[in-house]
């Protein structure tokens, strides 16, 4: 059960954006999984937050889920956050991300492919970083607190 009360349009507009992947078919697929309730978690490299000068998610924090055309579709509420080395991620994260991976090995292949992609690395000032067991990742669990569309 979400912990927030109904938010008005002005409050929603002030929330940080929750953007999953890059705009296009993959983002639309992820948004659909979130709205269906299949996807209740995500992961990001800790360095992503530093690169973008964004605060880490926190329990009770809210964000506005946007689709590929930057349209707000839901308010997400963070229910759990953990920062761990990549080598410590478990099968639970793979399953909770709702993208079809059922083992951490599958999850890791998918995520490392994204994190090592030219498009992703192009966002970093120094794109030559290494992703290995010691790379810190932020694991976030969330709930759809309010659907906007």
CATH of the domain at 142: 3.10.400.10
15 lies in some domain: yes
Q: Where are the alpha helices (DSSP H) in the chain?
A: 9-14, 25-36, 46-51, 91-96, 104-115, 118-121
Show the domain range for 139. 9-147
Measure the CA–CA gap between 124 and 75, rounded to whole angstroms: 28
Q: Is residue 112 part of a domain?
A: yes
pLDDT tens per residue, range 114-125: 999 999 999 999
The pLDDT of residue 149? 80
- Within 35-135, strands assigned E span 41-45, 62-66, 72-85
How far is residue 85's CA from residue 59's CA, in Å, rounded to a whole number? 20
Q: In what order do the strands lie in the sheet with 72-85?
A: 17-18, 62-66, 72-85, 136-147, 41-45
Q: Is residue 3 in a domain?
A: no
- Whether 50 is in a domain gets the answer yes
Question: 48 lies in a domain?
Answer: yes
Domains of the chain: total:
1
Q: Is residue 4 part of a domain?
A: no
Model pLDDT for residues 67-125, shown as the tens digit of each residue: 999 999 999 999 999 999 999 999 999 999 999 999 999 999 999 999 999 999 999 99
Q: For position 10, what pLDDT does the model report?
A: 85
- 2 belongs to a structural domain: no
Residue 54 within a domain? yes
pTM for this prediction: 0.90
pLDDT band at residue 1 under the 50/70/90 scheme:
very low
């Amino acid at each position: 059960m979400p912990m927030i009360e109904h938010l008005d349009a002005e409050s929603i507009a002030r929330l940080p954006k929750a953007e999953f992947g890059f705009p296009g078919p993959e983002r639309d697929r992820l948004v659909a999984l979130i709205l269906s309730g299949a996807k209740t978690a995500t992961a990001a490299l800790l360095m992503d937050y530093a690169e973008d000068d964004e605060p880490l998610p926190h329990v009770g924090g809210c964000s506005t889920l946007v689709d590929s055309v930057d349209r707000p579709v839901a308010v997400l509420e963070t229910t759990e956050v953990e920062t761990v080395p990549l080598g410590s991620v478990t099968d639970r994260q793979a399953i909770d991300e709702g993208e079809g991976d059922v083992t951490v090995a599958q999850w890791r292949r998918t995520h490392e492919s994204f994190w090592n992609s030219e498009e992703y690395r192009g966002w970093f000032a120094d794109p030559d970083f290494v992703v290995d067991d010691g790379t810190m990742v932020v694991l976030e669990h969330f709930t759809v607190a309010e659907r906007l569309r």
